[in-house]
Amino acid sequence: MNLWFRLFLMLLRRPWRKPVPWLATTVVRLRVWPLDLDFNRHVTNGRYFTLADVGRMDYVLRSGAFRVALRHRALPIVGDVCGKFRRELKLFERFEIHTRMLGWDERWSFVEHRFVKDQRVIAVVVMRGLFRGPKGNVAPAEFARELGIDEQSPPLPQWLQEWSASCDGLSLHLREAERP
C-alpha cells in the first residue's frame, strides 16, 4: 500500500489520537501489504525507512512539534538514517512502529523508530534530522523551549554520538570530494 494512503489514514485518525509530551513514545499500528515486499517475500529494507516516516509524522503531529514548525515556517529535513534489521515481516502481518525522541544536540534531533511484532523488536531505524525555515535551521533547543520543556537534551548514548560524528565525517568527505 502506498505511503501516501497510509499517511492519509493516519491523518484521518488524528482527531481521536491524544497529544503526547515531547519525550513520549507514540505507537502506529500497520499491516504489511504486497507493495512492501521484495523478491524474498518480506518487507524490503528500504521500506522500513519509508514506514518510519509514517511513525515520525504521527509523533510530530501529536507532540506539538508541527505547531512550532509552522510558527517558524520550517520544514522537516532528514539528514541521516541508520537501520538495524533483526527479524522479517511477511505479507499481511500486523506490526507497530514505536517512535520516540532520543535527544538532540545544537543542530540535530535524534528520533528512534522500533518496529515491533508480537512484543519483539524486529527492526530499529534511527534518524537525525532538523527543521529549516526561511531564516535557517531552527535549533532543537528552540523547539524544546517553545514546547515548554527543558532545553537540555536527555543524555545521548555513546553509540548515537559516535554515529552522528561518523555522519559528520562522511559529509565533510563528500564536500571535500566536490571541490575542484
Binning pLDDT at 50, 70 and 90, where does residue 26 land? very high
Residue 167: how many other CB atoms lie within 10 Å = 16
Please tell me the number of Cα atoms within 13 Å of 25 on its side-chain side: 11
pLDDT tens-place string over residues 84-97: 999 999 999 999 99
pTM of the model as a whole: 0.90
pLDDT tens-place string over residues 109-153: 999 999 999 999 999 999 999 999 999 999 999 989 998 889 999
Q: What's the one-letter identity of residue 99?
A: T
- Record the cell numbers describing residue 84, joined without a space: 538495524
Q: Which residues contact 128 (CB under 8 A, 6 or more apart)?
A: 78, 79, 80, 108, 109, 110, 111, 164, 167
In this structure, CATH architecture of domain 3-155: Roll (3.10)
pLDDT tens-place string over residues 153-178: 999 999 999 999 999 999 999 999 99
Binning pLDDT at 50, 70 and 90, where does residue 2 land? low
Pairing of strands 94-104, 136-138: unpaired
What confidence score (pLDDT) does residue 44 get?
92
Binning pLDDT at 50, 70 and 90, where does residue 18 land? confident
Residue 76: how many other CB atoms lie within 10 Å = 17
Residue 1 pLDDT greater than 60, yes or no = no
DSSP string, the chain: --HHHHHHHHHHHGGGSPP--TTPEEEEEEE--GGGB-TTSBB-HHHHHHHHHHHHHHHHHHHTHHHHHHHTT-EEEEEEEEEEE-S--BTT-EEEEEEEEEEE-SS-EEEEEEEEETTEEEEEEEEEEEEEETTEEEPHHHHHHHTTS-SSPPPPPHHHHHHHHHHHHHHHHHHHHH--
- Record the cell numbers describing residue 121, joined without a space: 523488536
pLDDT tens-place string over residues 45-98: 999 999 999 999 999 989 989 899 999 999 999 999 999 999 999 999 999 999
Residue 23 pLDDT greater than 50, yes or no = yes
